[in-house]
């Protein structure tokens, strides 16, 4: 018998930072986020991460999960495909930058670097975050030595489908949840009910609702074309602005580990 009015309706993983992700029926909550989520990242020649904010063409690289590798292909160019092993050997490391953070990452292969450089028409390299790299969550929000992958700042993001429905009622052309790159989508009303949560449980996993997620121009990149638009950020700014930031979705941190799956109920603890 259903005991909660909220239920996980979608789980999304984004293995390569700033590239499209995919939906899974279930996922493992690990020490730094969902398994495979943002463990890979494209960097420029200085070691700084690449983002759709400056390079919207990243949206056109489709990523698929296979048993032993990620498969990447360009959605518009006859570029062929490249396989990225899920288990990354090697000890060729470099210090890489994500915003104000710096951490160690592993180079994978020159062949993969050449493929991405040709696909994006710019010099870049693909790196992987090994288990020994410990990138700490911002000290203002962590309660212990909690770590995060190459995600912008927090391991998880959750958004209610009702919140997107509310936004789409205000837009001339509706947008999909893909614009917001959220790990968890849930069903249940009202819109923006996630703003009121402080702690939730999904299956056996407890999450702390850390802070609202400030949105940037990345939400304006059309995932089908890789072209920047004005919406939905322009409309969100009319009713979801807090000081100088536009908020949509809530960042989470886990207090336990385990498996989460589509169809699991969300128990609001606080």
118 neighbors 79 (Cβ within 8 angstroms): yes
- Give the range among 22-36, 90-104, 237-251 with minimum mean pLDDT: 90-104
pLDDT for 218 equals 96
Q: What is the pLDDT of residue 13?
A: 98
Q: Rounded CA gap, 179 and 30, in Å?
A: 25
Please give the Cα distance from 181 to 20 (Å, whole number): 8
Residue 77: which pLDDT band, with cuts at 50, 70 and 90?
confident
pLDDT at 2 over 70: no
Q: pLDDT tens digit string along 44-56?
A: 999 999 999 999 9
- Give the pLDDT confidence of 180-189 residue by residue, as tens digits: 999 999 999 9
The Cα 238–Cα 104 span in angstroms is 40
Domain residue extents for the chain:
7-268
Mean pLDDT computed over every residue of the chain: 95
pLDDT at position 92, please?
Answer: 76
pLDDT digits (tens, 9 = 90+) for 142-163: 788 899 999 999 999 999 999 9
| Percent of the chain's residues with pLDDT above 90 | 89
Structure confidence at residue 3 (pLDDT): 60
CATH class in words for 7-268: mainly beta
Which helix (H) or strand (E) segment holds residue 62: the answer is strand 61-65
Q: What integer pLDDT is reported at residue 142 of this predicted model?
A: 78
Q: Phi first, then psi: what are they for 106, rounded to 5°?
A: -105, 135
Residues 66-77 have a mean pLDDT of 94
Rounded to whole angstroms, how far apart are CA atoms 128 and 149? 10
For the chain, give the percent of residues with pLDDT over 70.
98
Question: What mean pLDDT do residues 224-243 have?
Answer: 95
Q: Which tokens go with 187?
A: 């069903």
Among 138, 131, 178, 116, residue whose Cα is nearest residue 36? 131
Query: Residue 1 — very low, low, confident or very high, per pLDDT cuts 50/70/90?
Result: very low
Q: Can you give the pLDDT at residue 144?
A: 81
Do 57 and 120 contact (CB within 8 A), yes or no? yes
């Amino acid at each position: 018998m259903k005991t909660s009015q909220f239920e996980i309706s979608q789980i999304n993983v984004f293995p390569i930072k700033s590239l499209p992700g995919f939906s899974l029926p279930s996922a493992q909550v690990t020490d730094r986020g969902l398994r495979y989520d943002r463990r890979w990242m494209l960097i420029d020649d200085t070691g700084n991460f690449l983002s759709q904010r400056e390079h919207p063409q990243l949206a056109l690289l489709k990523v698929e999960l296979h048993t032993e590798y990620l498969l990447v292909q360009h959605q518009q160019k006859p570029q062929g495909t490249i396989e990225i092993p899920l288990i990354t050997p090697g000890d060729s490391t470099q210090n890489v930058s994500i915003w104000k953070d710096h951490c160690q990452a592993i180079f994978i292969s020159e062949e993969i670097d050449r493929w991405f450089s040709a696909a994006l028409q710019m010099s870049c390299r693909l790196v992987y975050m090994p288990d020994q790299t410990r990138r700490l969550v911002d000290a203002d929000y962590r309660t212990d030595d909690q770590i995060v992958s190459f995600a912008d700042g927090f391991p998880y993001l959750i958004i209610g489908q009702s919140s997107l429905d509310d936004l789409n009622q205000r837009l001339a052309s509706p947008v999909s949840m893909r614009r917001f790159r959220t790990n968890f989508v849930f069903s249940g009303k009202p819109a923006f009910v996630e703003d009121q949560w402080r702690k939730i449980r999904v299956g056996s996993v407890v999450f702390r609702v850390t802070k609202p997620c400030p949105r940037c121009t990345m939400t304006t990149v059309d995932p089908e074309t890789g072209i920047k638009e004005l919406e939905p950020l322009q409309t969100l700014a009319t009713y979801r602005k807090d000081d100088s930031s536009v908020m949509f979705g809530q960042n989470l941190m886990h207090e336990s580990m385990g498996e989460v799956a589509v169809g699991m109920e969300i128990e609001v603890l606080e």
